[in-house]
Amino acid sequence: PSPLIQEYGLVVLGPGGVGKSALIINFQRGEFLEVYDPTIEDNYTHECIIDGENALLDILDSAGQDEYSAMQDHYIRGGQGFIIVYSIASLDSLNQVKARVAKIRRLKQTNRCPIVIIGNKCDLGEERRQVSYREGEAFAKKSGAAFFEASAKSGHNVADAFYQCIRQIRMHRRLT
């Protein structure tokens, strides 16, 4: 990469099964893998141009960490932007995500940390929905985070959500 390229460290967090890995794969390769090993934890790199500026993204796909894990603290301390995922088909996943946002605020000791909240699986039928759009949006607003409903399956809003996180990191860097 050119010496001018900016690097961005993103951490994708959320309970198991909400589609963290599927979202990253969709973003990186534009495809949907139906089955993905839930225990795999990996780093992905992705180069792209966002708003005319080159970006090298280093994306951490976290897996299997509970709220109290020291590993999760370590990831949060190292991350510059956070994509926090719940499933619109699981109210429980939204509730679990709330604790993670609080933890990021606590560990980063700032209210301005770049966070994007994704309500994933929005391709599912309304009969499967347990979290309304307004409920997700209200939680994001209260958290000072950007909000998208997205689908790793259809690709809806996936790139927009990742790009928004990069925009927030850029703004954050300009201010600090």
Contact 97, 85 (CB under 8 A): yes
Q: Name the strand (E) or helix (H) holding 165.
A: helix 158-175
Q: Which is nearer to Mg ion, 55 or 158 (CB)?
A: 158
Query: Considering the rule CB under 6 A, would residue 151 count as an interface residue with ligand GDP?
Result: yes
Angle at 101 between CA 165 and CA 74, to 5 degrees: 85
Q: Which is nearer to ligand GDP, 107 or 124 (CB)?
A: 124
- Least Å distance, CB 127 to Mg ion, is 26
Q: In this structure, what token pair is assigned to residue 23?
A: 């979202």
Q: Pairing state of beta strands 42-50 and 53-61? A: antiparallel
Of these, 8, 11, 13, 19, which contacts ligand GDP (CB under 6 A)?
19
In the complex, which residue's CB is closest to ligand GDP? 19
Query: Considering the rule CB under 6 A, would residue 38 count as an interface residue with ligand GDP?
Result: yes
Query: Considering the rule CB under 6 A, would residue 137 count as an interface residue with ligand GDP?
Result: no
Q: In this structure, what token pair is assigned to residue 110?
A: 């700032």
- Choose the one of ligand GDP, Mg ion, none that binds residue 129, judging by a C-beta under 5 to 8 angstroms depending on kind: none
Tell me the C-alpha distance between 52 and 126, whole Å: 37
- Nearest CA to 86 out of 164, 132, 20, 10 is that of 20
- Least Å distance, CB 56 to Mg ion, is 22
Tell me the C-alpha distance between 25 and 170, whole Å: 23
- Choose the one of ligand GDP, Mg ion, none that binds residue 153, judging by a C-beta under 5 to 8 angstroms depending on kind: ligand GDP
Query: Considering the rule CB under 5 A, would residue 21 count as an interface residue with Mg ion?
Result: yes
Q: Which is nearer to ligand GDP, 97 or 152 (CB)?
A: 152
Tell me the C-alpha distance between 44 and 107, whole Å: 24
Q: Which residues contact 139 (CB under 8 A, 6 or more apart)?
A: 94, 97, 98, 117, 147
Identify which range of 10-18, 45-53, 68-76, 101-109 contacts ligand GDP by CB under 6 A: 10-18
Could you say which residues in the range 97-126 bind ligand GDP, by CB under 6 A?
Answer: 120-121, 123-124
Give me the residues that bind ligand GDP (CB under 6 A), please: 14, 16-22, 34-36, 38, 120-121, 123-124, 151-153
